[in-house]
Chain A
């Protein structure tokens, strides 16, 4: 690390957001410095050793469509892959991979260490250098000052991190790592809106102490799926299964008896936890009539004897944790290798960010990952990509990059965060995306790769592959449109058996495929149309044709919204001057500071009439501007 240099981008933190951010900036040719507590811990999975899942795999594919890291790394570190919702329709299908924690770190570190334009340095950052509401660099723990054009903070759960096990509390960023207290203190001294959130993790179990014989085995899918467009499936390490255990009535009794020892229930923890990652004590209390809860026992790696019991996150005292684990099916003699815990940390109100993840308070300063109120590696990674790319664009004096709600889950997440803020750690779900049918795992490249290419995020190899794929999709669509099937053709008899109404006039294969009862495979088998050699292309084409009605309608809806998105609200707008707005709406607008009319309209309590008043006010400003 050269301390005399003016870096383009400094990234603080080498977690999932930080690694993507640094790699993205470096890919774009920016002189990038990644500063983190520990080089060994680059890409460390703090909690669950898994990547993907519903909603999350969509984010991973979007990162991949921009040539980012997460998908490529998990394809080399995943030890069990499954496609969830396989039968439920392409828009909600999602790939999930169990990771070997160590392999994941190794590959992540290997890629980063071999990235041009990227320097990695191990040191805690203790302060930011800010001059005139603009960030100028960082101060290291050892006192050194480093200068840069832009800074991306991705400090995860580390800022004033407080670990709870029973009534015992310690400072920490996650088990085994120090908290980041200096940086937290200096940030608290600045005009950011900061609050506390909490999350938790289960105890880990020695797999040799678990009796798996009677537990249901859950193998991965065959053929083994993969996440990156650049993968072929050959990069996977050995694949191993998970096991399914359950809590028992005894588990419930133990927890109810010891509830007073839970820091959550005793009121020691003030931070809000995620509703969808409840601790086992929460589940037992809230769903008292449910006799048992499932627990997936997930291997932590090929060379590890540790199991991650997915479903029993807890911050009860160690003695109680042990009793809980031993009350689970197949775990009577279980040995705990690490205790579970809850962690509380500082996060920054994401409403203080704009859609590039740049702070509205300090220029050239970007925030990404857990510190924006999200949870999850994928959520962090995707934000890291966006923040890193925008920091690089700023350093290069180029126009910023915004992802729309109609372009990706990344866009949905960022827009939700910056317009609505969050009351709990935010996790992605497909139900958050109103354009769910258009935002699929299988078309992330169609949505994002071309744009990412123009930004300089995409390498030559992916670009070639992308163009090749697009061309094949296009050709296959044309081919289907050019094949005619007539009522009197010999094959039609077969076809009619599948059709709800027999073929009455000549149709193209393309038209036939539009019918809900007909699949691509039927056409291949019954109408003898021949098939494309790459199943991923034919399935893409099938989805495009089948969904076209819905997607056209969504496209219409999107076009209408686009107009509102283009109407920007000036940052210095004085809401108190707008005649007719109620005080409640004024306060909301002040708190949220929406960037566009479209964002304003999504804030709860902002009525259509209030939006009309805003529009009239904007027009008035424009007219008086013209007049003067």
Chain B
């Protein structure tokens, strides 16, 4: 969407390097940077300064202001190069959003650059691909953030809010109907309850925000293709049971590895094949779920395959657009037959037993995953969710602040609408028609 607001994001890959760069773009960026640094920024001049919040130095580093249109995005842009560390970076991002910036959507800087004519036509497809891949990763990450307790609480707040809005809007739009008269007092209590719930959730979500920010990889392949063995080889420890009876791996086995500072989470799945075994079927279902959350899928083939076609791959993983796929020829210590690869995916060769090909495979893996540094992680998604919750909190506070009365019901309804809009950013659009549907199914209304 064309937005004239100011966006912010960390421009360095998570968990790497000693310097962290935070980039702001949009009309308010200079103002935000000057407020945080207390320094006057001049275009293209590096200014040394600290970020101070509540008389505490958060980080010290260099500010650079690029005045639009002579910047990467074509808008006013400010970069802060600090010492990084995930906690510091998060704190700075939070301070900036508090001053009016918004966490950038993945790929949004490049998109602005393109729309402002800073990137030429030949890049259009690349930008489209980027938007696509980012939005797929964003959806995945958001799903990962929205799980368990957190999701339950968000949903419960939303459902209370909808109930309240249904009553208030019915009260407004259908005054002549014989709807149970809801007392203004009840509205007021409900508003306070919702406010308290959002407060609590923001609090607890902050404490528990140590969400995993690792990349997700799924190993998939026919039974006995060597998935468990590869996992063990990468982990350098026996994690999965390795046997030669097909269908051994019934459950999902996860392991987290650190390769070159990058956290990677690998899931070993039951091979996908038709089976009547209930437990194994369950395992396959879980495999399909894991696939949907993956950043990269690796398909394993052993000597039973002479050639791999697109169909072979599709049969294995179903249709999953936009997820990078890699193919592995396993057990090369015993067969050494090259596989005829007729797909568009890269094919690598490894032996889990001898370790042959493993270093190359690791490097390839790293490269693949680094390419997706602009991708959304569950951690970032949670930050985003928290920002929306805080916005919702501001609006519900405004509603609570009005002495709730009949005369101000239109203003309260507006505050509640804005609260809902903020929450909708987490769980999806709630339209005025959805609201009417709720009114008509709750009350008997009509002439």
Given the complex, which residues of B lie within 8 Å of A85, measured CB to CB? 172, 175
B124 touches A89 (CB 8 A): no
B132 touches A608 (CB 8 A): no
Residue among B173, B175, B444, B445 with the highest chain A CB neighbour number at 10 A: B173
Question: What sequence of 0s and 1s flags, for each residue 106-149 of chain B, a beta carbon within 8 Å of any chain A beta carbon?
Answer: 00000100110100110011011101101100100000000000
Question: What sequence of 0s and 1s flags, for each residue 89-115 of chain A, a beta carbon within 8 Å of any chain B beta carbon?
Answer: 111100000000000000000000000
- Rounded to whole Å, the gap between the CB of A571 and the closest CB of chain B is 20
B132 touches A276 (CB 8 A): no
Question: What sequence of 0s and 1s flags, for each residue 256-282 of chain A, a beta carbon within 8 Å of any chain B beta carbon?
Answer: 000000000000000000111110000
A434 touches B5 (CB 8 A): no
Which listed residue, B115, B169, B433, B439, touches A616 by the CB 8 Å rule? B115
A623 touches B121 (CB 8 A): yes
Interface majority SS on B: helix, strand, loop or mixed? Answer: helix
When chains A and B are docked, how far (Å) is the Cα of A429 from the Cα of B128? 39
B residues within 8 Å of A by Cβ?
1-5, 105, 111, 114-115, 117, 120-121, 124-125, 127-129, 131-132, 134-135, 138, 169, 171-178, 402-403, 406-411, 413-414, 417, 429, 431-433, 435-437, 439-440, 444-447
When chains A and B are docked, how far (Å) is the Cα of A91 from the Cα of B134? 41
When chains A and B are docked, how far (Å) is the Cα of A429 from the Cα of B175? 12
In the complex, A492 has a CB within 8 A of chain B: no
Q: What is the chain A residue whose CB lies nearest that of B108?
A: A612
Question: What sequence of 0s and 1s flags, for each residue 579-607 of chain A, a beta carbon within 8 Å of any chain B beta carbon?
Answer: 11000000000000000010001001001
In the complex, A30 has a CB within 8 A of chain B: no
A287 touches B1 (CB 8 A): no
Which listed residue, A55, A90, A617, A620, touches B410 by the CB 8 Å rule? A90
Please judge, given known A-B contacts A277-B446, A436-B410, whether A616 and B121 are in contact too, CB under 8 Å. Answer: no
Q: What is the chain A residue whose CB lies nearest that of B136?
A: A609
Which 7 A-B residue pairings sit nearest by Cβ, starting from the closest? A609-B135, A89-B410, A287-B444, A580-B132, A620-B124, A91-B410, A623-B121
Q: Which of A48-96 contact B (CB under 8 A)?
A: 48, 54-55, 84-85, 87-92
Given the complex, which residues of A lie within 8 Å of B175, measured CB to CB? 54, 84-85, 88
When chains A and B are docked, how far (Å) is the Cα of A353 from the Cα of B155? 38
Pick out which of these stretches binds chain B: A131-139, A154-162, A299-307, A560-568. A560-568
Question: What sequence of 0s and 1s flags, for each residue 163-175 of chain A, a beta carbon within 8 Å of any chain B beta carbon?
Answer: 0000000000000
Mind listing 12 A-B residue pairs with CB under 8 Å? A84-B175, A88-B410, A91-B410, A92-B409, A429-B173, A429-B432, A431-B169, A560-B3, A609-B131, A616-B111, A616-B115, A623-B121
- Rounded to whole Å, the gap between the CB of B336 and the closest CB of chain A is 41
B2 touches A516 (CB 8 A): no
B2 touches A597 (CB 8 A): yes
In the complex, A311 has a CB within 8 A of chain B: yes
Q: What is the total number of residues of chain A having a CB less than 8 Å from a CB of chain B?
A: 61
A613 touches B131 (CB 8 A): yes
B444 touches A286 (CB 8 A): yes
When chains A and B are docked, how far (Å) is the Cα of A563 from the Cα of B27? 15
When chains A and B are docked, how far (Å) is the Cα of A286 from the Cα of B111? 50
Given the complex, which residues of A lie within 8 Å of B410, measured CB to CB? 88-92, 436-437
In the complex, A627 has a CB within 8 A of chain B: yes
B446 touches A276 (CB 8 A): yes
In the complex, A283 has a CB within 8 A of chain B: yes
Given the complex, which residues of A lie within 8 Å of B447, measured CB to CB? 48, 277, 296, 310-311, 313
When chains A and B are docked, how far (Å) is the Cα of A283 from the Cα of B443? 10
Please judge, given known A-B contacts A54-B175, A276-B440, A436-B414, whether A580 and B407 are in contact too, CB under 8 Å. Answer: no
A89 touches B411 (CB 8 A): yes
When chains A and B are docked, how far (Å) is the Cα of A612 from the Cα of B436? 30
B178 touches A597 (CB 8 A): no
Question: What sequence of 0s and 1s flags, for each residue 413-429 of chain A, a beta carbon within 8 Å of any chain B beta carbon?
Answer: 00000001000000001
- Rounded to whole Å, the gap between the CB of A614 and the closest CB of chain B is 9
A88 touches B173 (CB 8 A): no
A560 touches B173 (CB 8 A): no
Q: What is the chain B residue whose CB lies nearest that of A311?
A: B447
Residue among A90, A431, A597, A624 with the highest chain B CB neighbour number at 10 A: A431
Given the complex, which residues of A lie within 8 Å of B173, measured CB to CB? 54-55, 92, 429-431
Given the complex, which residues of A lie within 8 Å of B1, measured CB to CB? 564, 597, 601, 608, 611-612, 615
Which listed residue, B114, B429, B436, touches A619 by the CB 8 Å rule? B114
